[in-house]
Amino acid sequence: MEGFAGKVCVITGAGSGIGQALAIELARSGALLAISDIDTEGLAKTEEQVKAIGAPVKADRLNVAEREAFALYADAVVKHFGKVNQIYNNAGIAFTGDLEVSQFKDIERVMDVDFWGVVNGTKVFLPHLIASGDGHVVNVSSIFGLFAVPSQSAYNAAKFAVRGFTEALRQEMKLAGHPVKVTTVHPGGIKTNIVRNSTAAADIDSAGLNKLFDKGALTTPERAAQIILESVRKGHARVLVGPDAKIVDVIVRITGSGAYQGLLAAIAGRVLPRLS
Ligand SMILES: NC(=O)c1ccc[n+]([C@@H]2O[C@H](COP(=O)([O-])OP(=O)(O)OC[C@H]3O[C@@H](n4cnc5c(N)ncnc54)[C@H](O)[C@@H]3O)[C@@H](O)[C@H]2O)c1
């Protein structure tokens, strides 16, 4: 894809799924890559594929929830490549469970990775993105950042927060006249390990949940990466990834929040697999 040659791109959660596909597509497009993940095995696989394409790559274990480590990592990336143009705050985890049966630690874990991980990455890299003269922040939210569903209060909270955070930042960069574009990404169901890697409350049938997700996820991570990068190239404010994301966005906007909640509660009540 055009527009990425020579750009230094940072990708979190690059050991699997969307992050891995972004790394490979960016490598093919001539970018230089700083990839990281908490899962070093997955990361090594991505590194191998990116190297085979011939892209310069720096691969590091990084937990995005660890703010101090993230700050040190940003310095190390800038020292290694001399600049940073783009950050893809992609790392994320899922949790399924009604609030009534969820623990505080379940909610905190999701917020720590899915919200604070994005804030940490954006904040520590922002001065470098501004200094590059051609920066871009790409923050991965979800369609669950556009509407809420039962059993996803923690994930919904984190993904709505990422959306608000990122949309505010986009306006701040414009007002300040900084050379930094900002894009929020809202994927629909993407065929990745997100649900298989996820945790759930005690009453949720995890095997049933995996099956439901495998049936419902319509878009491959490779296609998702292409859609995201096309929007990044064009500097879009937000990108809806997959036909399900586009349809749901329209339904929510047409019906308004009261009506969509009634509709989704009825559907979720029937399809969410629970242990009886
Ligand atoms: N797959 C979907 O249907 C879907 C839909 C909407 C949004 N998303 C979002 O897309 C992003 C990528 O998810 P994916 O679907 O590729 O899932 P995935 O599980 O395949 O990949 C996520 C990666 O993030 C890494 N990770 C998890 N916690 C981390 C941490 N604390 N620090 C660093 N890395 C960590 C995992 O090890 C994994 O490699 C996530 O933010 C997710 O919420 C996914």
261 found inside a domain: no
Comparing 23-32, 57-66, 220-229, 255-264, which segment has the lowest mean pLDDT? 255-264
79 found inside a domain: yes
The CATH number linked to 207 is: 3.40.50.720
141 found inside a domain: yes
Protein residues whose CB sits closer than 6 Å to any atom of ligand 1: 12-13, 15-19, 37-39, 42, 62-65, 90-93, 113, 117, 140, 142, 187, 189-190, 192-194, 197, 217
121 found inside a domain: yes
* Residue carrying the six token digits 């505080």: 104
252 found inside a domain: no
- pLDDT of 24 > 80? The answer is yes
- pLDDT of 140 > 80? The answer is yes
Q: What local confidence, expressed as pLDDT, does residue 78 receive? A: 98
Contact assessment for residue 115 and residue 108, using Cβ atoms and an 8 Å cutoff:
no
83 found inside a domain: yes
Contact assessment for residue 34 and residue 11, using Cβ atoms and an 8 Å cutoff:
yes
Task: Say whether pTM exceeds 0.95.
Answer: yes
122 found inside a domain: yes
Cβ neighbours of residue 163 closer than 8 Å, sequence gap 6 or more: 141, 145, 146, 184, 186
Mutate to test the pocket of ligand 1, among 25, 64, 93 (most ligand atoms within 8 A of CB): 93
Residue 8: its H or E element: strand 8-11
Number of domains in the chain: 1
Domain that includes residue 106, residue range: 8-243
21 found inside a domain: yes
**What integer is the mean pLDDT of 121-135?**
98
